[in-house]
Chain A
Amino acid sequence: MDREFFRMRGITKVYKMGDEDAVVLRGIDLDIQRGEYLSVLGPSGSGKSTLMNIIGCLDQPTEGEYALDGNRIEDLDELELARIRGSEIGFVFQNAQLLTRLDAQKNVELPLIYAGVRPKERERRAREMLSLVGLSDRMHHRPNQLSGGQQQRVAVARALVTNPTLLLADEPTGALDQRTGRQIMELFQQLSGEGRTIIMITHDLNIAKCARRVVHIIDGNLTEGEEATSP
């Protein structure tokens, strides 16, 4: 029924490097169902972040078609892309990327500020999300008063506060030690259990295995789980 929820066809990304063209993505096809938990596994430099930026509407493919929740991305202008980023997608980066001047709650409110949500409503939703990631007692801590794992959880809360269609995470445990990394993975598992659609990018096979579906990306080519050959 939801065939058009997430559909990529022939996505190619080429960077112009002086005279030479650097081909980073070589015709990627990918379909995702609503509620799926997918991980993209690949070595460093294989094009994972490039793919994620295209999925997150931060970057445009050189060629190919991409539709998300009924929006044909290549047809959208800068304003509509900003709206999609703000409402359809929640980003979690490798480093939590919190604003150091703001406390945890305000950081989580940030996407709602740009969406023009009322202050009371913003506050309520930010608190709700912080409790969800287990930080109800850290609402007014600044990032530098939080541990790495806690910061990443604030980032997850921020990604979820707009109730996005898609949660996108680029190496969310890359900057964490194993134990806190595992805690974040447990959080993702819990979110997936609640029916969230998640795409997680990683170079770590153990992390990738947390997802129900794994795709491999090597040198800009995407292959489904079992068929892939380990590098």
Chain B
Amino acid sequence: MKRMGSGILGSFFMLVESVRMSVANIRQNRLRSFLTILGILIGVTAVIALITTIQSVSGSISDSFSSMGAGTLTVSATGTELKAGLDAEDMRRIAELDGVLGVTPSVSLSTKVARGGALETGVAVSGKNDFYFESNPDAIARGRAINALDLEGKSRVCLINADMVDLFFYGVDPVGEVLYIGGLDFTVIGILSESADETVQSMLSGSADIMIPYTTALKMNSESLVTGITVYTEGDSAAVQDSIEAFLDALYNYEDDTYEITTMDSIEDTMDSMLSMMSALLGGIASIALVVGGIGIMNMMLTSVTERTVEIGLKKAVGARPGQIQAQFLIESFLLSVVGGVSGALLGVALSAALCSVMGTSFQLSYAAIALGVGFSAAVGILFGWSPARKASKLNPIDALRRM
């Protein structure tokens, strides 16, 4: 028996030649190849643009989360029937726990606000304490903060934001003026800055237009206990969480479901899982486009096999093995899809960067998304190229050559 080529090296030379022939075939059917590549390109672009954009958005959300919520945790204490919330003494004791810097209660109400002829209903009013303004010195644009005396005396003083100024104090300096909140007369003591109330709570429940002493807010709500507080911690919030839990358990006689502690981390986790679910869903929808692209490849390869029947027969007659014929066609569909995949990845990244700059979020390049897009398209090429390639390799050389 005669042997000509050397094993592995011979296969390598064959492979190089197959790639060359595939490139020649692809270039010969320029338009058809372009359209097929376009199918894959659109799919990969969609997948990568969506995933990268969502990841950028999620990245910048968690960035802003950690910048504004560093070292805080929120406690929502509904308590028991006997003690449905926290009183001033409880808050003082929580504030004295190790690692706790201070506590801010949040008492919200929505009410009518009026001055002169102007009336606004459903205004968000939030009761705060002095510690809130100490730990958020940027909250006040002008005027003074709520102090301990205001809290003790349940004084009717308020700070208002720019919207309220526009509504009720057009052309008038509001500080020192009177504003009717829920039918009571309040003296305006300060103006809130734009960035006031940028806490996690306010982000989740909407920010307040007006801030008043929390004791006053409780009285207006005819309540004596606070159900929501924000705890400012130093250092490890998990350790603090444990001691707060111990305190609340003791306070509510170890009954279940009396309180809930939310840390920045847990909110971020929820947010993250929501966003990754969204990217999986959207990515899944977009990958349908990839499947359609794959069908395009399959269609082109099937056409190509039919057109090249004689060529396949001839190659078999000169000694090509079925595996070599199959490899040739697989390489072709692989090349088509990878060209589509790589250019789709580039386009997708560009599109996502553009989207991010339009939305004003910082763009974050996701290598995982690119790997996914390119890898997926390569897989599509092999998967959808498989059956046409197999069909070609199984062609009977005689049937092929009879067509001559």
Q: Which A positions have Cβ atoms within 8 angstroms of B?
A: 53, 56, 58-59, 70-71, 78-79, 82-83, 85-88, 91, 93-95, 97, 99, 101-102, 110-119, 158, 162-163, 165
At the interface, yes or no: B318 with Cβ under 8 Å from chain A?
yes
Q: Nearest Cβ in chain A — how far from B73, in angstroms?
A: 69
Residues of A within 8 A of B318 (CB): 85-86, 91, 110-111, 114, 158
* Pair B28/A83 contact, Cβ less than 8 Å: no
* Pair A115/B314 contact, Cβ less than 8 Å: no
* Pair A82/B320 contact, Cβ less than 8 Å: yes
* Pair B25/A83 contact, Cβ less than 8 Å: no
Q: Nearest Cβ in chain B — how far from A123, in angstroms?
A: 12
Q: Can you name 5 A-B pairs with beta carbons within 8 Å?
A: A78-B321, A83-B1, A97-B404, A115-B10, A163-B2
At the interface, yes or no: B375 with Cβ under 8 Å from chain A?
no
In Å, the complex CA distance between A82 and B324 comes to 11
Chain B 302-316 interface mask (CB, 8 Å, partner A; 1/0): 000000001100111
Residues of B within 8 A of A86 (CB): 4, 318-320
Knowing A58-B397, A87-B2, the reply to whether A82 touches B322 (Cβ < 8 A) is: yes
* Pair A53/B398 contact, Cβ less than 8 Å: yes
At the interface, yes or no: B253 with Cβ under 8 Å from chain A?
no
- Chain-A contact segment, one of B11-19, B61-69, B142-150, B377-385: B11-19
Q: Nearest Cβ in chain B — how far from A155, in angstroms?
A: 10
In Å, the complex CA distance between A91 and B401 comes to 12
Residues of B within 8 A of A117 (CB): 4-5, 10, 13
* Pair B404/A114 contact, Cβ less than 8 Å: no
In Å, the complex CA distance between A88 and B318 comes to 10
Residue of A nearest to B6 (CB): A116
Residues of A within 8 A of B24 (CB): 101-102
Residue of B nearest to A113 (CB): B17
Residue of B nearest to A95 (CB): B404
In Å, the complex CA distance between A118 and B10 comes to 7
Knowing A53-B398, A97-B310, A116-B9, the reply to whether A85 touches B25 (Cβ < 8 A) is: no
Residues of A within 8 A of B25 (CB): 101
At the interface, yes or no: B162 with Cβ under 8 Å from chain A?
no
At the interface, yes or no: B317 with Cβ under 8 Å from chain A?
yes
Residues of B within 8 A of A95 (CB): 404
Q: Nearest Cβ in chain A — how far from B102, in angstroms?
A: 79
Knowing A88-B2, A116-B4, A117-B5, the reply to whether A110 touches B13 (Cβ < 8 A) is: no
Residues of A within 8 A of B10 (CB): 115-117
Residues of B within 8 A of A99 (CB): 311, 314
In Å, the complex CA distance between A162 and B4 comes to 8
* Pair B315/A91 contact, Cβ less than 8 Å: no
- 8 Å CB interface, B348-367 against A: none
Q: Interface range on chain B: under 10, 10 to 19, 20 to 34, or 35 or more?
A: 20 to 34
- 8 Å CB interface, B1-39 against A: 1-7, 9-11, 13-14, 16-17, 21, 24-25, 28
In Å, the complex CA distance between A116 and B401 comes to 24
Residues of A within 8 A of B315 (CB): 110, 114
**Interface of B (DSSP majority class):** helix
Residue of B nearest to A168 (CB): B317
In Å, the complex CA distance between A99 and B16 comes to 18
* Pair B317/A91 contact, Cβ less than 8 Å: yes
Sort A-B residue pairs by CB-CB distance and give the 5 closest, nearest first: A86-B319, A116-B10, A116-B5, A111-B318, A115-B4
* Pair A116/B28 contact, Cβ less than 8 Å: no
In Å, the complex CA distance between A97 and B308 comes to 12
* Pair B319/A101 contact, Cβ less than 8 Å: no
Knowing A97-B310, A99-B311, A115-B5, the reply to whether A82 touches B319 (Cβ < 8 A) is: yes
Which interface residue of B7, B21, B28 has the most chain A CB atoms within 10 A? Answer: B21
Q: Nearest Cβ in chain B — how far from A122, in angstroms?
A: 8
Residues of A within 8 A of B14 (CB): 113-114, 116
* Pair B317/A101 contact, Cβ less than 8 Å: no
* Pair A71/B319 contact, Cβ less than 8 Å: no
* Pair B28/A79 contact, Cβ less than 8 Å: no
Residue of A nearest to B15 (CB): A116
Knowing A58-B401, A88-B2, A101-B24, the reply to whether A82 touches B316 (Cβ < 8 A) is: yes
In Å, the complex CA distance between A83 and B316 comes to 10
Residues of B within 8 A of A97 (CB): 310, 314, 401, 404
Residues of B within 8 A of A94 (CB): 404
Q: Nearest Cβ in chain A — how far from B314, in angstroms?
A: 5
Residues of B within 8 A of A114 (CB): 14, 315, 318-321, 324
Q: Given contacts A86-B4, A118-B9, could you give 4 more A-B pairs where the C-beta distance is less than 8 Å?
A: A85-B319, A97-B310, A116-B4, A165-B2
In Å, the complex CA distance between A116 and B17 comes to 10
In Å, the complex CA distance between A111 and B404 comes to 19
* Pair B4/A87 contact, Cβ less than 8 Å: yes
In Å, the complex CA distance between A114 and B393 comes to 14
In Å, the complex CA distance between A163 and B398 comes to 23
In Å, the complex CA distance between A163 and B322 comes to 22
Q: Nearest Cβ in chain B — how far from A78, in angstroms?
A: 6
Residue of B nearest to A93 (CB): B404
Residues of A within 8 A of B310 (CB): 97
